[in-house]
Amino acid sequence: METVYSCPGSLPPSPNRRSRSLLTPETSPQAASPVRSTARTRVRRRARRQARSGSTSPERSPRRSKIKPCPMCPKMVSSNAFADHIKVHMLLNDEHGIVATRPCDSCRTKKRECRVARVPGMQGLKTLRCRCCLQYHESCSYMQEFRSVNTSTMLVHPAMDQANTSETSGSESSDVSEV
């Protein structure tokens, strides 16, 4: 038996074609099952990909930065900013940080306390930036000023050089005045 198509001169539909054309004759429900199976295949592939990546929820993207808990405070910190966050804690500690005698430009304009590292080349700290610039993700003028200086060889922060000479002379004079 020959099938008659509504359009004269049209060719019979290709068996590999997935979409239904208005010019093709009605097909049986078995012909529509490959469309459902491709949808099932897609869902299965997605589930396998999520299982391999270790992600159980579809909302979580593997490209997002991971969030870590800070060991020193209850904050959850992005892994991109984790090292700077730890440096802020270190600079707040009097053992590692000291108030700069010559504050950076942003601390001077915003009237903030400019705390810098006592020893900028110390392992785990290695920064010239002040605490506020680290905490608020701002550019610190110390970085532009002392770009050419190697941080790992520094024993005193450049903002403290003037303070060290005045502190030693000031402490000697205060000892003399007391005696």
Helix (H) or strand (E) holding 115: strand 115-117
- H/E segment holding residue 12: none
The 10s digit of each residue's pLDDT in 31-49 is 554 555 677 777 777 777 7
Element (H, E) at 117: strand 115-117
Q: Encode pLDDT of 39-84 as tens digits.
A: 777 777 777 777 776 655 545 556 667 899 999 999 999 999 999 9
Alpha-carbon distance 100 to 34, whole Å? 72
* pTM to 2 decimal places: 0.55
> What is the C-alpha to C-alpha distance for residues 126 and 90, in angstroms, rounded to an integer?
11
In whole angstroms, give the CA distance from residue 134 to residue 166: 27
Structure tokens at 15: 């068996």
